[in-house]
Structure 1
Amino acid sequence: MSDIPYAPHIGRKGSTGNIEYMNENYIWCECEYSSKINYQEMANQNGVNKDGIIIPKKAYLTDIPYNGFYRYKTNPNMYGDWIIAGAIKIEKILTDDEVDRILKEKGISPMPRYGGSINLAEYGF
C-alpha cells in the first residue's frame, strides 16, 4: 500500500533499458488501513546501524503490526514509502483513467500499462 498509485521502481523495461511501463497485471486500489497505533518508532529502531543512523531498508518489523501501521522504503529509487498495516479495507479498485487523473493532480507523469489499459470487467470488477 502507498499514498499514491505510483511505483516507478517496479514494472517493465522499455527500449531504453529503464522501467517505462506499469506491469500489465498490476492494479491499484483505494484502501483504508488501521492507524490506531503508529509502529514507526519500533520499525526505525530495527534499522539503526552502529553509528546511530537509520537505514530505511532495514527499518521494518518482523511481525505484522497489530491494529496499526508503519512506513517502509524498500528501494531508494521508489517514490514515497510503502504503508505496512495489520489490516486494510479495499474501498475501490481504480481504473487506469482514475490512476492517471490522481497522478496528474500530483504533478506526476503516469506510466503507461504494458500492453495497454486493463479491462477490469474481464475480471469481474
Structure 2
Amino acid sequence: MAAMTSVQAAALWSGLMILLLVGLGARVAIARRGNRVVLGDGGNAQVLLASRVFGNAAEYIPAGIGALALLAVLGMPAWVLHGLGAALLLGRLVHAISLSATRPTVGRVIGMSLTWLSLILAGLMLVVHAFSGPPHS
C-alpha cells in the first residue's frame, strides 16, 4: 500500500470527524425521541446533554476540517496532517465520551486540550505558511 498524499490524509481525518458529528447528531435525535421532545431540549437533562455534546463538536470540527484542507492544499506533509487530524479526532471523541452534566472530568479536560492544541498548531502553521515561500496568485 502506497503512502497517503496530504490531500488523502486530510480527507481521511475530515471524513472520520464528519462521521463523528453524524453519530453525535443521531444521539440527539434518539434522546429527543425517547423523551418525546419535539424541539430543543424540552427541559430534559438527557436531551440537553446530548445536544451540548453535539453542539460542542459542531463548534470545533468545522474549523479543524477547514484547516486540514488548507494545509493539504498548501503542501504540508501528510504526517503533519495525520498528527493534527488524529489529535483533533481523539480530542473530540474523549470530550464527547467524558462530558458530564454533573461534574467536570479529566477526560473532558484532556479532550479540550487535544482539540485546542491541534487547532492552535494548525492556525499557527497556516499563518506562517501565508508569509513563507514564493508569492501565489
TM-score by length of structure 1 reads: 0.22
TM-score by length of structure 2 reads: 0.21
Larger relative strand fraction: 1
Query: Which protein, 1 or 2, shows the higher relative CO under an 8 Å CA cutoff with sep ≥ 6?
Result: 1
Asked which structure has the greater CA Rg, the reply is: 2
Larger relative helix fraction: 2
